[in-house]
Structures are given as C-alpha cells and as structure tokens.
C-alpha cells in the first residue's frame, strides 16, 4: 500500500469518527438540556412539569442518572407504578454498565420499597373473539397483556373493548394505592342485532301486480259515501230549493194580482187607478219570480254537479263541444 493510499484511508476514518461524534453529541446535548431544565423545575416545586422534562430527556437518551431522578419525581407525584418502572430500568442499566454498584443498589432499594404500594389492574378476556381490541384510557392493551395483573398508577381508568359484529363496551374502574382490580371484558360484549329479514310478498313471482287506479278528481275510493264536496252540494241543493220555492210563491202571487187587475180592467184601455196598481204589482211579482227561478235553478244545477264530482269513486269533468253548443260532461263512478 502506498503512502498516498494510507493518507486517504486516514482522512476518511477521521471524517467518519467526527461525524458520528457530532451526531451523538447533538443528541446528548438535547437530553442534557432537558435534564437540567427538569431539575430546575423540581427545585422550584413544579413537580409535574419537571417530570415531563425528565421523561423527554430519558426518551432522547436513557441514562441511570435521568432514570433515578425521574423515578424520584414520579414517586413524589404518587405515580408509584411509573416510579417503580423507572427505578427497575435504572437498576438494570447500572448492572449492565458494571462498575456502578452504588447507583444499582440505590435503584433496587427504591424499587423494592415501592412494591407494597403498587396498584395492579387485570383485564380479563376468558373467551377469544376475532378482531377484539381493548384500550385503557386510549392506550392499546395488547392481547399479551390480557389476563395478567399489571402494575398501574392509582387513579380512574376507562376500559373500552370493540370487536366486529359486537356492540362497543366500556366501563370505568377506580383503583387506589396497593389495590388489585379485575375487569372482565367477555362475556360482557353483546352481538349487534341482525337486520330483520323482509317477509315474502303475497303476490307470486309469475303473477303481475294489480295496476294502479288512474288518478281521479274528488275523494279517494273507500273514503265513504259522504265527502266535503258532497256536503257542500247538499247545502247548495237546499238553498236552490228554497230559491225555487220563493220563485213559485212570487209567480202564484203575480198570477193572482193579474186576475184581480183583469177583473177591474177587462179591456185593453183602463181608467181604473186600482186596476192599474194591481197590474204594476203583478208585473213586479213576476220579475221577482223569474229572478228566484234562475237563481234556484242554477244553484240546484251546481249542487248536482258537486254531488257527482264528490263521489267516493272519483269523477272528472270533461268539456264537450258540438256544432252549435258547448257544455261539460261528468265521467266516473257515481
């Protein structure tokens, strides 16, 4: 190998080490900054915020010191399961690193002291259902975690179980320090009710359906003999009959007056004032009779038309026209 080759290899090796070192240093710097901020918050009594910073630092770069501080913070917040997990992880990390016996012993001692205070929650699923998913406060509880009592921080938790073809099921459980609770999911799930099966039609497949009745004007079939239209027609018929009766009265009265006038004035020229008065009264009564005849006849005719139009079977009016006349025809069931 030439001197130039050796120089190239040395340059590349230094560059690679420098790059790795820069990356590791950047990650460690972020974790260190979060760790220091978390410690400062704890000194000012801001436990929850300090714990969050320490947890963020531990996620970036796990270390025994960060885990010990995080465990101590969680314990002060009463989150004993989270604190116990942090101490156990610190103990295992210190054991792997070797030469850190003091912090390994401290982490083990703190974890052992918390064990009597741990709360345990078991999600019991005695029967397997395809597609079953269980969540605890939005966090997935995998099937490997079923039927096993697991340490959990004291508090209130909502358990939700869902599976295809079943109604979603939920419950809320409150667990205190050192308590043990069990939540049985199955057989609490209930199947989704099946959709009702439609009953077969009474018409045979090869039998055509009866045709629909054509639309008609008036009251639908089967609504009875009477309808609003027919009730109106009856009222008009009574009014028309009354008008015709009044016309008959005035007609008879006009005839009577005319007879009395003729007896006084038998000739075409009359000089009797009483006879002339009777003749005028006869003509007035005749005009009144004609008016009531026309009004009564028209009203009765309208009543007849409305009676047919309001028939339960349905009728319709059809205009008719002839060479010398126009009219209206009534068609339908009467």
SS3 of 153, please?
coil
Percent of the chain with pLDDT strictly greater than 90? 39
User: Which pLDDT score is estimated for 332?
Assistant: 56
Instruction: Give the residues across from 150 on adjacent strands.
Output: 121
- Find out whether 291 and 247 touch, Cβ atoms under 8 Å: yes
Domain ranges of the chain: 22-116, 119-184, 228-332
Instruction: Share the mean pLDDT of the chain.
Output: 78
Superfamily of domain 22-116: Tetratricopeptide repeat domain (1.25.40.10)
At 44, is the pLDDT very low, low, confident or very high (cuts 50, 70, 90)? very high
Distance, CA of 256 to CA of 266 (rounded, Å): 15
Whether residue 12 has pLDDT greater than 80:
no
Q: What is the mean pLDDT of residues 126-147?
A: 90
CA distance 192 to 167: 5
| Residue 58 pLDDT | 93
**Range of lowest pLDDT (55-59, 62-66, 189-193, 295-299):** 189-193
| pLDDT band with cut points at 50, 70 and 90 for residue 103 | very high
Whether residue 305 is predicted with pLDDT greater than 90 in this model: the reply is no
pTM of the model: 0.50
Q: Note whether 264 and 272 are within 8 A (CB).
A: yes
Q: What is the pLDDT of residue 11?
A: 33
CB burial of 206-232 (b: ≥16 within 10 Å; e: otherwise) equals eeeeeeeeeebebbeeeeeeebebbeb
Helix, strand, or coil here: 124? Answer: strand
Q: Which helix (H) or strand (E) is 22 found in, with range?
A: helix 3-43
Q: What pLDDT is attached to residue 322?
A: 60
pLDDT of 256 above 50: yes
Confidence of residue 2 (pLDDT cuts 50, 70, 90): very low
**pLDDT above 80 (res 230):** no
Span 71-87, average pLDDT: 95
> Residue 99: pLDDT above 70?
yes
On the question of pLDDT at 245 being above 80, the answer is yes
Q: Does the domain formed by 119-184 have CATH 2.60.40? A: yes
| pLDDT value of position 200 | 67
At 41, list the tokens: 């918050």
Which tops the pLDDT comparison, 302 or 2?
302
Nearest to 58 by CA among 25, 35, 79: 35
Question: What local confidence, expressed as pLDDT, does residue 152 receive?
Answer: 93
Give the least confident one: 17-31, 68-82, 231-245, 319-333: 17-31
Question: Cα 186 from chain centroid?
Answer: 29
Q: Confirm if 146 and 124 have CB atoms less than 8 A apart.
A: yes
């Amino acid at each position: 190998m030439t001197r130039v080759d050796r120089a190239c290899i040395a340059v590349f090796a230094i560059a690679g080490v420098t790059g790795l070192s820069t990356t590791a240093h950047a990650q460690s710097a972020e974790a260190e900054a979060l760790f220091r901020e978390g410690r400062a918050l704890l000194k000012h009594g801001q436990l929850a915020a300090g714990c969050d910073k320490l947890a963020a630092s531990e996620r970036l770069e796990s270390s025994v010191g960060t885990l010990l501080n995080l465990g101590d913070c969680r314990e002060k917040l009463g989150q004993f399961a989270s604190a116990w997990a942090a101490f156990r992880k610190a103990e295992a990390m210190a054991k792997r690193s070797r030469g850190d016996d003091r912090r390994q012993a401290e982490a083990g001692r703190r974890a052992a002291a918390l064990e009597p205070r741990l709360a345990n929650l078991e999600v019991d699923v005695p029967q397997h259902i395809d597609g079953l998913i269980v969540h605890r406060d939005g966090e997935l509880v995998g099937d490997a975690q079923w039927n096993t009592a697991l340490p959990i921080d004291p508090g209130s938790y909502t358990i939700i179980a869902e599976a295809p073809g079943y109604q979603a099921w939920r419950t809320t459980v409150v667990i205190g320090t050192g308590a043990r609770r069990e939540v049985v999911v199955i057989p609490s799930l209930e199947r989704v009710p099946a959709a009702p099966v439609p009953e077969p039609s009474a018409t045979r497949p090869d039998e055509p359906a009866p045709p629909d009745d054509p639309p008609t004007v008036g009251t639908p079939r089967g609504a009875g003999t009477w309808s609003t239209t027919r009730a109106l027609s009856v009222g008009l018929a009574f009014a028309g009959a009354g008008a015709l009766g009044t016309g008959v009265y005035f007609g008879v009265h006009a005839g009577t007056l005319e007879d009395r006038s003729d007896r006084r004035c038998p000739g075409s020229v009359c000089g009797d004032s009483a006879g002339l008065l009777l003749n005028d009264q006869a003509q007035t009564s005749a005009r009144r009779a004609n008016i009531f005849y026309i009004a009564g006849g028209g009203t009765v005719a309208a009543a007849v038309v409305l009676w047919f139009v309001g028939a339960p079977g349905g009728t319709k009016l059809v205009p008719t026209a002839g060479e010398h006349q126009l009219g209206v025809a009534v068609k339908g069931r009467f």
